[in-house]
């Protein structure tokens, strides 16, 4: 009887020990598994964050690419429009060139531009000098410009000159006489037409006298005096 109790007790103790060992092993396994699970969770969260970030970047890149495609499309349309306008302008240029060519073939067609700073009226060009010279120096200045001192040949031309000349400046023109009793002559030695305008009487002068314009009037004075001058030449024709 005593032996049976002892065996049962031993058996019970063995079960208890096994249970205790199992609990200890379970606790050890739990302690080992817990950090692993936490680490695994962190890794999973990191992966999820990475996936979300990559997805956002992909969406962002797609949006940028879409905008770039739209911009390229607009630029392409703009470029096509510019090329179209260029072709139109080239065609217009050809048409204008043809028109100019046709006009130049007309028998009576004339093109008569004047040099820079010259004033054109009719078929003549006029230059109002801004440099003070004597009559002879003014004559030389006009010659250097392939022109001559002004020769007034009509009342219309005289009116134009009087309107164009500044009222407070005096300008030599190409009219002179070498002696008091001599005739008034132009620079080219042609005779002055007295019906155009009157020149103040200078018959008492014993020196060469030349004519200038001042304030809308014609004035005869010593050719050695200093004035501006008016040069004249025929406009270029083609």
pTM above 0.85, yes or no: no
Q: pLDDT tens digits, the chain, 238 residues: what are they?
A: 444 545 555 455 566 665 666 566 656 545 555 666 667 678 777 778 787 787 777 788 777 777 787 788 888 888 777 767 765 775 576 556 656 555 555 444 445 479 999 999 988 999 999 999 999 999 999 999 999 999 998 889 988 988 888 767 899 999 998 776 778 899 988 888 777 777 766 655 667 889 998 877 888 889 999 999 999 999 886 5
Give residue limits of the domains in the chain.
1-109, 119-234
Question: In this predicted structure, what is the pLDDT of residue 145?
Answer: 95
Domain 119-234, CATH? 3.10.100.10
3-class SS letters over the chain: CHHHHHHHHHHHHHHHHHHHHHHHHHHHHHHHHHHHHHHHHHHHHHHHHHHHHHHHHHHHHHHHHHHHHHHHHHHHHHHHHHHHHHHHHHHHHHHHHHHHHHHHCCCCCCCCCCCCCCEEECCEEEEECCCCECHHHHHHHHHHCCCEECCCCCHHHHHHHHHHCCCCCEEEEEEEECCCCCCCEECCCCECCCCCCCCCCCCCCCCCEEEEEECCEEEEEECCCCEEEEEEEECCCC
């Amino acid at each position: 009887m005593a032996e049976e109790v002892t065996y049962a007790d031993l058996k019970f103790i063995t079960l208890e020990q096994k249970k205790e060992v199992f609990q200890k092993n379970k606790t050890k396994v739990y302690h080992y598994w817990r950090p692993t699970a936490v680490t695994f969770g962190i890794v999973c969260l990191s992966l999820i964050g990475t996936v979300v970030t990559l997805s956002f970047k992909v969406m962002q890149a797609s949006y940028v690419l879409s905008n770039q495609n739209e911009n390229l499309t607009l630029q392409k349309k703009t470029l096509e429009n510019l090329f179209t306008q260029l072709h139109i302008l080239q065609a217009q240029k050809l048409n204008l060139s043809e028109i100019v060519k046709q006009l130049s073939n007309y028998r009576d067609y004339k093109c008569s531009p004047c040099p820079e700073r010259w004033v054109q009226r009719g078929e003549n060009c006029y230059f109002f000098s801004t440099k003070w010279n004597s009559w002879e120096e003014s004559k030389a200045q006009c010659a250097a410009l392939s022109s001559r001192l002004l020769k007034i040949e009509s009342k219309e031309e005289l009116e134009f000159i009087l309107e164009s000349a500044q009222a407070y400046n005096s300008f030599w023109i190409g009219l002179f006489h070498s002696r008091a009793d001599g005739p008034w002559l132009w620079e080219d030695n042609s005779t002055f037409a007295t019906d155009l305008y009157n020149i103040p009487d200078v018959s008492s002068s014993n020196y060469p006298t030349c004519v200038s314009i001042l304030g809308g009037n014609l004035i005869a004075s010593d050719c050695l005096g200093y004035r501006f001058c008016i040069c004249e030449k025929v406009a270029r024709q083609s």
